[in-house]
Amino acid sequence: MSVPSFLYSQLFIEPPVPNHDFTGQTVIITGGNRGIGLEAARHLLHLNAASVILAVRSPEKGKAAASELEASTGRTGVVSVYELDMESHVSVEKFAAEIRALDRVDAVILNAGMYTQFFELADGHERTMTTNVINTFLLAILLVPALKSSARKWNITPRVSFVASDRHVLVNLPEWKTQNTFETLDNKAKTNMNERYYTSKLLQILLARALADALDKQGGDDAGAGRVVVNSLTPGYCVSGLLNDAVGFHGFAFWLLAKAVARTTEVGGRVLVAAITKGKENHGMYLNDGEVQESALSPFVRSTEGSLAQAKVWRELVILLEQTCPGIREIVGTQGSLT
Ligand SMILES: NC(=O)c1ccc[n+]([C@@H]2O[C@H](COP(=O)([O-])OP(=O)(O)OC[C@H]3O[C@@H](n4cnc5c(N)ncnc54)[C@H](OP(=O)(O)O)[C@@H]3O)[C@@H](O)[C@H]2O)c1
């Protein structure tokens, strides 16, 4: 997405308030205790969702958010709070097991995310990579069996939406050409942390496309996989706490941009909800302003090089996740090898 297209979206497009009916549906939102995730939850309550699960790292913050949602919408007994820390694969595995025990899951909004310009490790990898990419995909993959079984049991089309960013256009992932992309991204000496958030969002988009392909290869409706819709989206630039820790020129630029063009968190929440109203025709796609807009993907993502990078980082991710959590490869049906 070029700078003029970005500014046009921010200044002249206001995605509509969603009006889809979510009656009977269970929707999970990671990081739903504040920001655009919280506003997406509020929309879902207005749209009759039967169950909205806030997956949050702080149960106290989650409970406070749930109370505020109940008070503002008048809907009680619909929001539940589950503990989920995206910096810990153990927490992700525990949460996924809890979700697998549910009778029905209609949609998952993978929204929890972070921005930092400082290199720190979490769960054995650079923290942004752990939170935004590695454990986000671990969770998505671990939820696939629950989504497939919901598809079969309830004859529904479950949806998984990754909250990426239009700012993925700022980087082209040169690390993919190294022997092991994830190891390179964990190498502090070779890391430009000013780019790391954008890299994580580019990886989300590439890997969401690869996950969609992997599910397609598993076959038709009988397996349930054929019904699961995977997409990624940008909410646009919205006021939130995401960039509070940005420093230096970046901090100033974000502040200025927020003053000039940012959407409200409520409008950002609309876009998250729009992404899970889409059917099979949106599978593997990227949404801008709440609509499929593949032309808003960076030239790199749409290039032959981007496709090669996508295939390689997907293989690497599956191998990495299989080491952490045996069984991942079987879920996605990828027989990847680096050699
Ligand atoms: N705002 C924008 O302009 C914009 C643009 C493009 C994409 N996005 C994406 O939108 C998503 C939501 O961001 P936001 O703008 O709403 O920011 P936000 O207000 O900072 O909210 C981020 C949410 O993610 C949660 N989170 C962060 N690390 C977590 C972890 N380790 N485990 C569990 N939850 C964690 C936070 O929980 P705590 O409250 O516990 O910290 C919070 O609920 C992010 O993925 C972001 O990259 C935002």
Given 197, 198, 237, 286, which residue is catalytic? 197
Q: Is residue 140 part of a domain?
A: yes
Annotation marks residue 198 as catalytic = no
Q: Per the structure block, which two tokens stand in for 244?
A: 């509070």
pLDDT tens sequence across 292-302: 999 999 999 99
What's the CATH number where 123 sits? 3.40.50.720
**CA distance linking residue 151 with residue 149, whole number of Å:** 5
Please list every protein residue whose CB sits less than 6 Å from any atom of ligand 1: 31, 33-37, 56-58, 61, 84-87, 111-114, 131, 163, 165, 234-235, 237-238, 240-242, 268
Q: What is the distance in A from the centroid of ligand 1 to the CA of 241?
A: 7
Tell me, yes or no, if the pTM score tops 0.75.
yes
Q: Does residue 310 form part of some domain?
A: yes
Q: What is the pLDDT of residues 153-174, one digit of tens each?
A: 999 999 999 999 999 999 999 9
In a domain, 280, yes or no: yes
Residues 6+ away with beta carbon under 8 Å from 84:
30, 55, 56, 57, 91, 92, 95, 112, 139
For residue 220, report the distance from its CA to the centre of ligand 1, in Å. 34
Give strand ranges (E) for 68-139: 79-83, 107-110, 121-122, 125-126
**Mean pLDDT of all residues in 234-258:** 86
Q: What is the average per-residue pLDDT within 64-69?
A: 98
Task: Look at residue 334 and tell me if it is in a domain.
Answer: no
Q: What residues make up the domain containing 175?
A: 3-323
For residue 266, the CA-to-ligand 1 centroid distance in Å is 14
Residue nearest to atom 14 of ligand 1 (CA): 35
pLDDT tens profile 250-273: 888 888 887 778 899 999 999 999
Catalytic residue among 115, 148, 198, 201: 201
Give the count of domains, the chain.
Answer: 1
Q: Which two tokens stand for residue 195?
A: 């780019």
